Structure 1
Amino acid sequence: MQVTESIIIGIFLIVMIVMGFYFSKRALKSEDDYWTAGRNINSFVGAIALFAALTSASSLMGAVGSGVEMGLPFLFVYGFGVTCTLPFTLFLVSGQIRRSGVRTVPEFFLKRYGMSVSILAALIVVIGMTFYMVPQLTASGLIGSYVLGIDYATAVIVLGLGFTIYAALGGMWAITYTDLIQGMIILVGLAILAIVILFEHDGIGNLLSAALAVDPEFGEVTQPWLSYFGLFIAFLWFGVVSPSAVMRNFASKDARTARRSAMGACFLYASVFVFGFVIASAGANLDMIGSLDNSDMIFISVVEYYLPPILAGIMFAALISAIMSSADAMLLAISAGVAQDIYKGFINKEAREKTVTRLGLVVMFVASIIGIVIASIPRN
Structure 2
Amino acid sequence: MAVDTLVFAAITAVYLAVIIFLGYVGYRQTKGSDDFMIAGRRINPVVLALSYGATFISTSAIVGFGGVAAQLGMGLVWLTVLCIGVGVLIAFIVFGKKTRELGKKTDAVTFPDLLGKCYGSTFMQRAAGLVILVGMPLYTAAILIGGARFIETTLAIPYDTALIAFAVIVAAYVILGGLIAVMYTDALQGAIMFIGMTILLILTYTYLGGVITANSALDAMSSMVPEALAASGMTGWTSMPDFLSPIWITMITTMVLGVGIGVLAQPQLAVRFMSVKDNRSIHRAVMVGGPFVLVMTGVAFTVGPLTNVWFMQTQGMLAVEASGGNVDTVIPNFINSAMPDYFVIIFMLALLAAAMSTLSSLFHTMGTTIGYDLNVRMKDSKPSIRAIQAGTVLMIVVSTIVAYMMPSNIIARATVMFMGLCAAAFIPAFAYALYCKKPSLFAAKASLISGTVSWFLWTAFVHSSESSVLGLSQAIFGVSSVLPMPWGVVNPIVIALPISAIVLCVAHFYDRSIVDSPERETDLS
TM value normalised by structure 1: 0.91
Letter in 2 for 1:70: L
Find the aligned partners of 1:26 and 1:272 in 2 and give their Cα distance.
Answer: 30
1:90-129 CA-to-partner distances (Å, cap 9, x unmatched) read: 2331010101112111111112221211110111122222
- Offset at 1:215? 4.9
Residue of 180, 188, 197 corresponding to 1:181? 188
1:342-376 CA-to-partner distances (Å, cap 9, x unmatched) read: 22x2279655x5xx112212221211111112212
Q: Please tell me whether residue 24 in structure 1 is matched to residue 27 in structure 2.
A: yes
Give the paired residue count: 374
Q: Please tell me whether residue 120 in structure 1 is matched to residue 127 in structure 2.
A: yes
Residue of 323, 328, 349 corresponding to 1:292? 323
Find the aligned partners of 2:400 and 2:344 in 1 and give their Cα distance.
Answer: 26
TM value normalised by structure 2: 0.67
Letter in 2 for 1:376: Y
- 2:267 counterpart residue number: 243
- Offset at 1:322? 0.9
- 2:394 counterpart residue number: 366
Q: Please tell me whether residue 106 in structure 1 is matched to residue 125 in structure 2.
A: no
Letter in 2 for 1:49: S
Letter in 1 for 2:62: L
Find the aligned partners of 2:240 and 2:35 in 1 and give their Cα distance.
Answer: 48
1:104·1:336 contact (CA, 8 Å) conserved in 2? yes
- 1:165 counterpart residue number: 172
Higher Rg: 2
Q: Please tell me whether residue 230 in structure 1 is matched to residue 262 in structure 2.
A: no
Find the aligned partners of 1:201 and 1:148 in 2 and give their Cα distance.
Answer: 26
Q: Please tell me whether residue 83 in structure 1 is matched to residue 107 in structure 2.
A: no
1:24-46 CA-to-partner distances (Å, cap 9, x unmatched) read: 2322x211100111111121111
Q: CA RMSD in A?
A: 2.2
CA gap of 1:6–1:211, structure 2 versus 1, over 3 A, is farther
Instruction: Identify unmatched segments of 5+ residues in structure 2.
Output: 224-235, 312-317, 409-525
1:252-302 CA-to-partner distances (Å, cap 9, x unmatched) read: 122231243245312210112332244224312123321213212121122
- 2:68 counterpart residue number: 66
- Offset at 1:68? 1.1
Letter in 2 for 1:301: N
* Structure with greater helix share of residues: 1
Q: Which has the higher contact order (CA 8 A, sep 6+)?
A: 1
CA gap of 1:315–1:65, structure 2 versus 1, over 3 A, is same
Find the aligned partners of 1:10 and 1:265 in 2 and give their Cα distance.
Answer: 28
Letter in 2 for 1:76: V
Find the aligned partners of 1:260 and 1:22 in 2 and give their Cα distance.
Answer: 24
Letter in 2 for 1:320: L
Find the aligned partners of 1:92 and 1:378 in 2 and give their Cα distance.
Answer: 36
- 1:191 counterpart residue number: 198
Describe how 1:324-343 pairs up with structure 2 within 5 A.
324-343=356-375
2:77·2:298 contact (CA, 8 Å) conserved in 1? no
Displaced runs of 4 or more, over 4 A: 347-351
- Offset at 1:234? 1.7
Instruction: Identify unmatched segments of 5+ residues in structure 1.
Output: none
2:192·2:349 contact (CA, 8 Å) conserved in 1? yes
Find the aligned partners of 1:378 and 1:51 in 2 and give their Cα distance.
Answer: 26
- 1:303 counterpart residue number: 335
1:12-60 CA-to-partner distances (Å, cap 9, x unmatched) read: 2343234323322322x21110011111112111111111111111211
- Offset at 1:245? 1.0
Q: Which moved more, 1:145-154 or 1:220-229?
A: 220-229
- Offset at 1:63? 1.8
Find the aligned partners of 1:154 and 1:348 in 2 and give their Cα distance.
Answer: 44
